[in-house]
Structure 1
Amino acid sequence: MTRPTSARPLAVFDIDGTLVDSRASIHQAATEAARALGLPDPHYDRVRQIVGLSLPHALAVLEPGLTPPELDRFTAEFRASFGRMYDAGHEEPLYPGTMETLRRLHRDGWRLALATGQNRRGVARNLAREGWADLFISSHCAEDGPGKPDPAMLHAAMTACGADPATTTMIGDTAHDIGMALAAGAHPLGVAWGFHTPEEQFAAGAHHVAIDFPDLEAALARFASDRLAA
Structure 2
Amino acid sequence: MSGLRLAIWDVDGTLVDSRETIHNIMVEAFDLSGLTPPEYDATRRIVGLSLHEACAQLAPDASADDIEKLVTDYRNSWLRARSQPGFSQPLYDGALETLEALRDEGWLIAMATGKTRRGIASLFELHKLEHFFDTIWCADDGPGKPNPYMVEQAMGALGAAPHESLMIGDAIHDISMGRAAGVYTHGVSWGFGTAHELKEAGAHEVHHDFSTLRNSLMDFDPKARP
TM-score normalised by L of structure 1: 0.93
Does 2:40 correspond to 1:49?
A: no
> How far apart are residue 133 of structure 1 and its match?
1.7
CA distance in structure 2 between the partners assigned to 1:54 and 1:219 by the alignment: 30
User: How far, CA to CA, are the matches of 1:30 and 1:20 in structure 2?
Assistant: 17
Which of 91, 95, 101 is residue 94 of structure 1 equivalent to?
91
Counterpart mapping for 1:1-230 below 5 A: 3=2, 7-89=3-85, 90-222=87-219, 224-225=220-221, 227-229=222-224
SS at match of 1:123: helix
Check conservation: 1:27, 1:44, Cα contact below 8 A. Answer: yes
**Distance change in 2, residues 1:156/1:128 (3 Å):** farther
What's the offset of the Cα at 1:19? Answer: 0.3
SS at match of 1:188: strand
Contact kept? 1:148, 1:177, Cα under 8 Å: yes
The amino acid across from 1:19 in the alignment is L
* CA distance in 1 between partners of 2:156 and 2:80 (Å): 36
Deviation, structure 1 residue 132? 1.2
Q: Do 2:185 and 2:203's aligned partners in 1 also have CA atoms closer than 8 Å? A: yes
Structure-2 separation of matches of 1:203 and 1:92: 28
Q: Measure the CA separation in 1 of the matches of 2:171 and 2:128.
A: 25
Residue 129 of structure 1, CA deviation: 4.4
- Distance across 1 between alignment mates of 2:135 and 2:110: 5
Residue 161 of structure 1: how far off its partner (Å): 1.4
Q: How many residues align?
A: 224
Residue identity over aligned pairs, in percent, reads 43
Equivalent residues of 1:55, 1:118 under 8 A apart: no
Q: Give the distance between the partners of 1:117 and 1:72, measured in 2 at CA.
A: 18
- Spell out, residue by residue over 1:148-177, the C-alpha distance to the aligned partner (whole angstroms, 9 max, x if none): 000000011001111010000000001100
1:75 is aligned with what amino acid?
A: V
| Amino acid paired to 1:99 | L
For the aligned residue pairs, the C-alpha RMSD in angstroms reads 1.3
- Cα distance in 1, alignment partners of residues 52 and 125 from structure 2: 25
> Structure 1: how far apart are the matches of 2:125 and 2:60?
35
Unaligned runs of 5+ in 1: none
What is the DSSP-based 3-state SS (H/G/I as helix, E as strand, rest coil) of the residue aligned with 2:120?
helix
- Give how far 1:41 is off: 2.5
TM-score normalised according to structure 2 size: 0.95
Alpha-carbon deviations, 1:151-210, whole Å to 9, x = none? 000011001111010000000001100000010001111001000101001000001111
Q: Following TM superposition, where does structure 1 have runs of at least 4 consecutive aligned residues deviating by more than 4 angstroms?
A: none
- How far residue 20 of structure 1 moved from its aligned partner, in angstroms, is 0.5
| Preserved CA contact (<8 Å) 1:123 1:139 | no
CA distance in 1, matches of 2:20, 2:83: 17
